[in-house]
Structure formats: structure tokens, C-alpha cells
Amino acid sequence: MHKPRLTGLSAGTVFCESDIVPYFQPVCNVAQNDCDGAEVLMRLWHPEKGLILPAGFLDAVNTSDGMLSVTTVLMQKVKAVVIARGYPFHNAFTLAFNIPASVLSRPEFLCLCRDFLQDLRDYNISLMIEVTERECLVVNAELLGSLQVLRAMSVSIALDDFGTGYSGLWLLKHLPVDNIKVPLEFTSGIITDHVSACITDATIQLAHWLGISVTVEGVESEKIMTSVKERGADFVQGYYYSRPLNASQFFLFCDTLTQRY
């Protein structure tokens, strides 16, 4: 059987559209003590190796065309599983996608987001873009124009893994940012390491001064969860709350939550 190949990848890469699998990691809204969003994570199905994490395949996809191609497939697959589920989210629910800078200003990406929201208009979903830290971002008229268009569509903008890679303070000065994500790199040491704790506190404080919400990622224990909440995080994400789930596990997670109300 012919399997559609992905375009724009490095020579010799043989990924197919059907190999891309969306995973969902639930995000806890601290004030509501409830889940009202999830980060969509890309996994690749390999016949011998099983599920591969992005670190194992992103290098092969590492062009603007390659990233646009896998992002397109991922968003279409998410759309398909949400529609196949057959009913909307109970409350307004945010789905966040990781998007590198080189894809953000592509007109095709804006169309993709518009179609995503249009096709899921009856499912109570809003869209968040996590600008990833791996690529140096050039703040130019093109990028700012794209972000303006996205915001006009009510898409929110997050800075992923803030304080690592290229995700630095300067982005706060130049981009319209709604949310900052504190990475595992700082979260993991929050109890034991003074520097990690200070960086997390300062990030939360700065974000709140600017009217920006904070998601602390990589929360792996109850102790860290408690500490992060006390430090003022608005959202919490990590293995302690939930591991990344496949679509059916994720919808079951959502259904179990709504049964409480």
C-alpha cells in the first residue's frame, strides 16, 4: 500500500504521514484545580523501535519546510481525533502546539491555524502556539505581522522552555506574549537548588508584572507540585499530574474530570 511521504525532510529520511502520532500532556489550571488545556506532543511510530520522541527525529525534520510538513500532519491528526470523539470539551479547552520560529511567519501556517479553529469551532477549543527555544528567532515585520494575525484569531502565544536556548528576556520586549513556560531544567531543582528556585521565582514575578501567565513544566513529585503552587504558578504540567497520553487515554482523562462536576 502506498503511504504518503512527508515533504521537505533531509535526504534519506523515510518518515510517512501515518507514522506521526499525536500525544497530549494535560495541563492543570492551579486556580481552578482542574485541567483546561494540554500540550500536543509529536511522537513517531517506528516498526522496530516503537514510539520515538522528538529528540530522536527532529534533526531529520530540521528545515522550515520539514517542520511545516510535520506540523501540518500533526494538527490534522489532532483535528481528526477530536472530531472522531464526537462531542466538545466540557469547558473551554486550550490545545498548545510547539512551533519553531521559522514556521511561525509562513503564510501556510496561518492558514493551517485558521482551518484548525474553523473546523473545530463546535468543540470548545482554543489554540496556543509555543514558540520553541531551539531556533534563533528574527524579530522582523513578517514575524510580528504573523503574530498579529494569530492573535486576531484569538490564538495565544507562549514562550517554551523560557530561559534556555534562544528563549530569553529580549523576546518579552518584542513579542506579544500571553504565557511563559518554565522548563524542567529549573523545576527539577526547585527544592534542592537555590539558583533554580530563584530563577523560577524571578520568572513568575516578572511574568506577573507584565500580565503574563506562567506554566511550570516538568513537575515530577508532590513536593515540587506544592512548592510550585506556593510560588504562584498559574498552570502546572509534568509527570506528577499526568504523563503524555495517546488520544484515547487523553479523552478518558478529560471524561473522568468532567464526571466530577
Q: Footprint of ligand G on this chain (CB under 6 A)?
A: 25, 41, 53, 98, 160-161, 184, 217-220, 238-239, 244
- Quick one: angle between helices 107-119 and 141-152, nearest 10? 10
Q: Long-range contact list for 56-62, CB < 8 A, 24+ apart?
A: 57/15, 58/134, 59/10, 60/9, 60/10, 60/13, 60/15, 61/6, 61/9, 61/10, 61/13, 61/15, 62/10
Please select the residue that binds Mn ion; options are 130, 133, 135, 234, rule is CB under 5 A.
130
In terms of Cβ atoms closer than 10 Å to its own Cβ (0-12, 13-18, 19+), residue 32 is exposed
State the nearest-atom distance from the C-beta of 218 to ligand G, in Å: 4
In angstroms, give the least distance from the CB of 131 to Mn ion.
9
Which CB, 249 or 258, lies closer to ligand G? 249
Q: Among 66, 160, 204, 233, indicate the residue that binds Mn ion (CB under 5 A).
A: 160
Residue that has been written with the C-alpha cell 473545530 in this structure: 120
- Using CB distances below 5 to 8 A depending on partner kind, what does residue 41 bind out of Mn ion, ligand G, none? ligand G
Q: What is the number of residues in the chain?
A: 261
Nearest distance from C-beta of residue 122 to ligand G, angstroms: 28
Rounded to a whole number of angstroms, the minimum distance from the CB of residue 161 to ligand G is 5
SS3 243: coil
Q: Are 54 and 42 in contact (CB under 8 A)?
A: yes
- What, of ligand G, Mn ion, none, does residue 218 touch, CB below 5 to 8 Å by kind? ligand G
Residue nearest to ligand G (CB): 238
CA distances from 34 to 37, 205, 232 (A): 9, 23, 16
Q: How far is the CB of 2 from ligand G (least distance, A)?
A: 30
Decide whether 116 or 162 has the Cβ nearer to Mn ion: 162
Binder of residue 37, out of Mn ion, ligand G, none (CB less than 5 to 8 A by kind): none
94 near Mn ion, rule: CB under 5 A: no
Give the closest residue to 207 by CA, choosing from 177, 237, 231: 177
Cβ(126)–Cβ(94) below 8 Å? yes
Given 25, 71, 98, 167, the residue binding Mn ion (CB under 5 A): 98
Contact residues for Mn ion, defined by CB under 5 A: 98, 130, 160
